[in-house]
Amino acid sequence: MTLLRSKSVFDQIIKSNLHCDSDGLDGWMRFDVMKCIPATYIVEKAISEGRINSDTVVIETTSGSFGVGLAEVCCRYGLELHLVSDPAIEGVAAMKARALGATVHIVRVPDASGNFQKARLAKVQDLKKSYQKHFIPEQYDNLDNVKAYLACADHYLAETGFVPDVLIASVGSGGSSRGLYTQFSLANSDLALVGVDTPRSVLFGDQDGKRVLRGLGNSVTPKIFCPSIFAEAHWVSYDCAVTGALRLYRELGYFCGLTSGGVYLTHKAVRRRNPNARILSIFPDNGYRYTDDLVDCDEALLPEQSTPDEITGFPNGSAHWSYRKLREKAYA
């Protein structure tokens, strides 16, 4: 197969909205669907290495964004794609994936914890038995998920000249946070990484359980996830993420999803504690999948000065916003 160089991963990077405020303290990196970056990078690399050709079937698990990214790149290359998801994908994400020719398999029975991740992974294993020639991107375990973001950080630095002291990123597979941190820390060796998670996600040690907020968090620990690089972890509740998304739209004009809302609220909290730090936050999704969540705007908004509780352990089922410093001196 011939690579479509005009549709390379760098084209996806350039589509992002890169911004830093005039005061030089607040930076934003906003994406329509950020996971188009690793999806494109992984598939194009596999094609260049001969692991994918015209009759290879691509199979992957996704809650939505990575699947849309795969659907776009597989459509460009004429590849058959099977996405395994759960009811969270229904709506805009499933429509976009199907419109691009993907087959979407929806797992409707959760596991004992109330989540679908393990059941989705099991379905992927079943599907691959039906296709002798298949390729599984394995977003949770594939280091190319991390490498895809290195050029993204370089592009931001070149375009804005903004070198952050603190990087705030949501965490699901751990690919974007690790990749961006790896490259930005070359420009600032004292860079502090703040991870945005949600209660009942196992990533930072909480117990697995049913999660209301989707798009971040995990029921399994991905192989590419690297907890040692994080200075601080925030567990953001659904209500806080809705508030963050609404405030992000009202205050910056960015209509983003709930994952971005959780990041924005965390940005504001970290800013209050660190008035002079240069803070860069990553907004990974748009808001069109979440319009139902944002209908009752005024009722959903929490007070402007809502702050997280600092804890020494884990949320353990608490639905409130909490955080924990993972290093004694996380940052100045």
The pLDDT tens digits for 94-126 are 999 999 999 999 999 988 778 788 889 899 999
pLDDT at 26 over 60: yes
CA–CA separation, 68 vs 37, rounded Å? Answer: 11
CA–CA separation, 207 vs 218, rounded Å? Answer: 10
The distance from CA 111 to its chain's CA centroid, rounded to whole angstroms, is: 23
Sequence-distant (6+) residues with CB within 8 A of 23 are: none
Q: What is the mean predicted confidence (pLDDT) over 303-321?
A: 83
pLDDT at 303 over 80: no
Lowest mean pLDDT among 28-37, 175-184, 295-304: 295-304
Tell me how far CA of residue 256 lies from CA of 17, 61, 133, 194, 227, in angstroms. Answer: 12, 23, 38, 19, 26
Q: How confident is the model at residue 6 (pLDDT cuts 50, 70, 90)?
A: very low
pLDDT tens figures, 211-262: 888 889 999 999 999 999 999 999 999 888 998 998 999 899 999 999 999 9
Alpha helices for the chain (secondary structure H): 9-14, 36-48, 65-77, 92-99, 117-128, 143-147, 150-160, 175-187, 238-252, 258-273, 297-300
Q: Phi and psi at residue 225, in whole multiples of 5°?
A: -70, 130
Q: What is the mean predicted confidence (pLDDT) over 285-290?
A: 77
pLDDT at 1 over 70: no
pLDDT at 273 over 80: yes
Which tokens hold the place of 295? 């209908």
Q: What is the mean predicted confidence (pLDDT) over 196-216?
A: 91
Kindly report whether the global pTM for this prediction surpasses the value 0.85. Answer: yes
Check residues 107 and 19 and name the one with the higher pLDDT: 107
In the prediction, which pLDDT does 45 show?
A: 94
Residue-averaged pLDDT of the chain = 89
In the prediction, which pLDDT does 288 show?
A: 73
Q: What is the mean predicted confidence (pLDDT) over 31-51?
A: 92
- List domains and CATH numbers for the chain: 5-34+144-325 (3.40.50.1100), 38-138 (3.40.50.1100)
In the prediction, which pLDDT does 171 show?
A: 97
Q: Which helix (H) or strand (E) holds 186?
A: helix 175-187
pLDDT tens figures, 261-271: 999 999 999 99
In the prediction, which pLDDT does 88 show?
A: 81
